Structure 1
Amino acid sequence: MRTVNIDVTLRDGGYRNGFNFPLSYALQHAKLSVEAGFDWIEIAYRKGSLLPMPDLGLTGRGDDDYIAAMAREVGPERIAMILHPKNITDDDLPAMYAAGARLVRIILPAQGYEAGLARIRQAKELGFTVGVNFARISQWAGRDVVEVATAATDAGAEFVYLADSNGSLSPVDTTDLTTLTKSVTGRPVGLHAHNNLGLALANAISAVAAGATWMDSSIQGMGKGPGNLIAEQWLAHLDRTDAEAAGRLHLGPALELADLLLDTIPEGAPSLPLPDLVLGRYDLSVEHRKNLLGDHREGIATARTLAAVR
Structure 2
Amino acid sequence: MVINLDVTLRDGGYRNNFDFPLDYARHHVRESVAAGMEWIEIGYRNGSFKPRPDIGRTGLGADDYIRALAEVVPPEHLCMIVHPKNITEDDLPRMYEAGARMVRFCLPSGAPEAGLALLARAVDLGFTTTVNITRVSQLDGRRLAELAAMSGDSGADVVYLADSNGSMLPREVSRLVTLVRSVTDAAIGLHAHNNLGLALANAIAAVEAGATWIDSSVLGMGKGPGNLVTEQWLAYLGRRGSTEGHDLGRILALAHRMEGEFAEAAPSLPLPDLVLGHFDLSVEERAKLPQGRISDAFSAARELTATGAR
Same fold (TM over 0.5): yes
Does 2:201 match 1:196?
A: no
Give the aligned residue type for 1:301.
S
Give the aligned residue type for 1:284.
L
* Alpha-carbon distance in 2 for matches of 1:247, 1:146: 34
Structure 2 residue aligned with 1:304:
302
Give the aligned residue type for 1:139.
Q
SS at 2:52's partner residue?
coil
Deviations 1:52-102 (A, max 9, x none): 111110100000000001111111011001000000012100100000000
Structure 2 residue aligned with 1:77:
76
Is the CA contact (8 Å cut-off) linking 2:152 and 2:185 kept in structure 1? no
Instruction: Show the 5 A alignment for 1:1-310.
Output: 2-242=1-241, 245-292=242-289, 293-308=291-306, 309=308, 310=310
SS at 2:106's partner residue?
strand
Deviations 1:133-161 (A, max 9, x none): 00111111101111111111111111100
SS at 1:216's partner residue?
strand
Give the C-alpha shift of residue 291 in structure 1: 2.4
* Alpha-carbon distance in 2 for matches of 1:90, 1:150: 23
Runs of 4+ in 1 over 3 A off after TM superposition: none
- TM-score with structure 2 setting the length: 0.98
* Alpha-carbon distance in 2 for matches of 1:220, 1:155: 34
Is the CA contact (8 Å cut-off) linking 2:158 and 2:187 kept in structure 1? yes
SS at 2:161's partner residue?
strand
* Alpha-carbon distance in 1 for matches of 2:265, 2:254: 11
Task: Tell me how many residue pairs correspond in the alignment.
Answer: 307
Is the CA contact (8 Å cut-off) linking 2:17 and 2:56 kept in structure 1? yes
* Alpha-carbon distance in 1 for matches of 2:285, 2:144: 24
* Alpha-carbon distance in 2 for matches of 1:186, 1:155: 12
Give the C-alpha shift of residue 264 in structure 1: 1.2
SS at 2:41's partner residue?
strand
* Alpha-carbon distance in 1 for matches of 2:106, 2:17: 20
SS at 2:40's partner residue?
strand
Give the C-alpha shift of residue 183 in structure 1: 1.1
Q: By percentage of residues, which structure has more helix?
A: 1
Identity in percent: 59
Which 5+ residue runs of structure 2 have no aligned equivalent? none
Deviations 1:256-276 (A, max 9, x none): 100110111111111111100
Give the C-alpha shift of residue 280 in structure 1: 0.3
Kindly report the root-mean-square deviation, in angstroms, between the aligned alpha carbons of the 2 structures: 0.8
Is the CA contact (8 Å cut-off) linking 2:79 and 2:101 kept in structure 1? yes
Give the aligned residue type for 1:74.
V
Which 5+ residue runs of structure 1 have no aligned equivalent? none
Give the aligned residue type for 2:89.
D
Give the C-alpha shift of residue 35 in structure 1: 1.3
